[in-house]
Amino acid sequence: MREWMVRSLRIVVMAAVAAVAATQIGALQDTKVTGLAVNPRDGYATITWKPVTGATEYHIERTPLDDAGKPTADGAISAVWRPNRQIRQQSPSFADAGFVPGRRYQWRVRAMMGTTAQEFSAPVAAMTRAPFGPIEFQTGFEKREGADYTTYDEEIEWTARIAKASPRVRIVPLGTTPQGRTMNLFVIGNPKPIATAAEISNGPAAGANCNVHGNEPSGREGCFMMIRELALSNDPWVVDILTRATILIVPSFNADGRANNTRGNSAGQDLNRDHGRITQPESQMFAAFLRDYTPEVMVDGHEFGNTNTCDLPFLWPRHSNTAPSVHNISKLGLVEGHLYSAGATDGWWGCPYPPPGIDGAQTFTRVTGLKNMVTTLVEARSSGGPTRPLENGNQPESRRRKAYSQLWSIRQAIAYHRAERPAIAKAIADGIEFQKANKGRIVFHGDWDIPAFPAPHPGDSPPPGGAPGPDQILDPPPCGYFLTEALYSAKLKDSGTLPEKLWTSPGERLAAHGVAVEKRNGGYFVPMVQPLRGLINILLDARTPPAPIVAAERVFDCGK
């Protein structure tokens, strides 16, 4: 058992002792829940109530109603609120989800004292919020009520119609996948999107990478719904967001993997281990998008198959080379400051994502942090788990909850960018200055720690720390790397089964990242004194696990 597991067990034991003590007090008091309120939101309903002294958890019952308000089926417990669910436990809330939006339901809540159920609250009925916009702009997923996901053909047809209907939307094809599918970027602004990538890069921009793992589709559906609202709504929130920033959304980073329902792309490469080496066409197109548009805030949508985790595990850029200002604002601002807090208000349960071991992975969050962007991964828990007992595996109820929780996450990232843009812009500018200074160690593999938050944090177990060992550190750093002409230009056969005509060279990949390179006698020099400094040794040093793009020569004497 790892040390962090022992620590989290200790927290559970302490919580149980506290609960028993509280129960003895509660026995003297009224234990029926009061103050129940239902707030219909986008695909979910926030259920709130007054806490009952001594309650160890709460059960939320949902009953479907007809238009006349009569039950059409028996009520069932759809949600279990537990004390580790949110950071403000004195104001319990639960985002009940999985129902079909736009229908009428009734809720009741009861406290549990250990295994003893207390009396249910008075019921509250509500009409849930229907999907936004005219029905012809609903996706395949919505029309089929989550019976299956939106197909690629449906996506392309829907994309064209949204772009035609809304002057706020410009579609930029980023390129074509190995199997011939298009990777589209939605550029959204009000009253119309800013004309060029260079102008957008110089201003405020935020967005989402919706679907890197083809068999984790809910983020893509959340993105479609967010796009539709941004494109067509005149709600003041939407108009305000789009008047002050450009929103950049890539629904299908891995269109081949989605079409084939595989984690990796058609060459078998996990694209979320390929943001550094960018061996695959999809990764190169996406890197060029980040280079040209430099979004300041991004979310990266996933699903996580741990039934015991929270609704929405988050993870910020944590590679040890990440500039402190960028790491800190991503962690303390975006995730702990905004997403955990908004989750406690709206009823979604956020927690830190446990990374799956030390693998030197060149993931979205690690690499975007090294590109001085404020980002987080978001993992919709793939099944209901013990806190959402109506979900039965990967069924429509579960798919709807996941898609709407992803929509919530994207909306919150955009809202955070809107609220904190000056601080975000400063953190990014400070990060660029930090990197350009090339002062202090560089790290090949190692991470900032991910502490539990708060204590006890919302989540079951904090991820293991990943501080770099001495063999993963180089201090002082080189002032650059040198590649011979041959190394720079040779097309690389890389991992997976990518056809030879799609192989690319280190020079092409450095260009896709936007790494500055100087032509020298016999080759190319890559100076460390540049904004992408934290990424350069990942790309070019032989010591990088699992592998750099190519092993270049470290240069320590730059003739200063």
Write down the least CB distance from residue 310 to Zn ion, Å: 16
Nearest to 233 by CA among 171, 298, 188: 188
Write down the least CB distance from residue 95 to Zn ion, Å: 22
User: Residue 233 burial (CB < 10 Å; 0-12/13-18/19+)?
Assistant: middle
The whole-angstrom separation of Cα 23 and Cα 420 is 42
Q: Which amino acid is at 74?
A: D
Nearer to Zn ion, 167 or 305 (CB): 305
Nearer to Zn ion, 346 or 447 (CB): 447
The structure tokens 């807090």 sit at: 341
Write down the least CB distance from residue 259 to Zn ion, Å: 17
Q: Are 57 and 112 in contact (CB under 8 A)?
A: yes
Nearer to Zn ion, 213 or 331 (CB): 213
What per-residue string of b and e applies to 498-507 under the rule 16 or more CB within 10 Å gives b? Answer: beeeeebbbb
Nearest residue to Zn ion, scored by beta-carbon proximity: 302
Write down the least CB distance from residue 272 to Zn ion, Å: 6
Nearer to Zn ion, 312 or 526 (CB): 312
And the tokens for 401? 């909850």
Write down the least CB distance from residue 307 to Zn ion, Å: 16
The whole-angstrom separation of Cα 299 and Cα 410 is 7
Looking at the DSSP bridge assignments, the partners of residue 209 are: 250, 300
Nearer to Zn ion, 304 or 444 (CB): 304
Write down the least CB distance from residue 213 to Zn ion, Å: 4
Write down the least CB distance from residue 450 to Zn ion, Å: 17
12's CB contacts (< 8 A; 6+ apart) are none
DSSP-H helix ranges across 102-172: 140-143, 152-165
The structure tokens 């559906």 sit at: 221
Nearer to Zn ion, 213 or 319 (CB): 213
Q: Which amino acid is at 483?
A: L
Write down the least CB distance from residue 360 to Zn ion, Å: 17
Write down the least CB distance from residue 304 to Zn ion, Å: 7
Nearer to Zn ion, 206 or 380 (CB): 380
The whole-angstrom separation of Cα 193 and Cα 474 is 44
Write down the least CB distance from residue 344 to Zn ion, Å: 25
Q: Are 209 and 254 in contact (CB under 8 A)?
A: no
Instruction: Name the residues that contact Zn ion, by CB under 5 A.
Output: 213, 216, 302
The whole-angstrom separation of Cα 230 and Cα 219 is 16
Looking at the DSSP bridge assignments, the partners of residue 40 are: 45
Write down the least CB distance from residue 298 to Zn ion, Å: 15
Nearer to Zn ion, 218 or 544 (CB): 218
Q: Are 319 and 447 in contact (CB under 8 A)?
A: yes
Write down the least CB distance from residue 302 to Zn ion, Å: 3
Write down the least CB distance from residue 369 to Zn ion, Å: 17
179's CB contacts (< 8 A; 6+ apart) are 255, 256, 259, 266
And the tokens for 501? 């005509």
Nearer to Zn ion, 277 or 302 (CB): 302
Return the beta strands (E) in 412-529 as ranges: 442-443, 473-474, 480-484, 518-520, 523-527
- DSSP calls for 229-289: HHHH---HHHHHHHHH-EEEEES-TTHHHHHHT-SS-TTS--GGG-TTT--SHHHHHHHHH
Nearer to Zn ion, 217 or 459 (CB): 217
The whole-angstrom separation of Cα 552 and Cα 541 is 6
Nearer to Zn ion, 253 or 408 (CB): 253
Nearer to Zn ion, 142 or 216 (CB): 216
Distances (CA, A) of 374 to 293, 381, 432, 446: 14, 23, 12, 19
Q: Are 102 and 125 in contact (CB under 8 A)?
A: no
And the tokens for 351? 């927690």
Nearer to Zn ion, 41 or 213 (CB): 213
Nearest to 397 by CA among 39, 151, 76, 137: 76
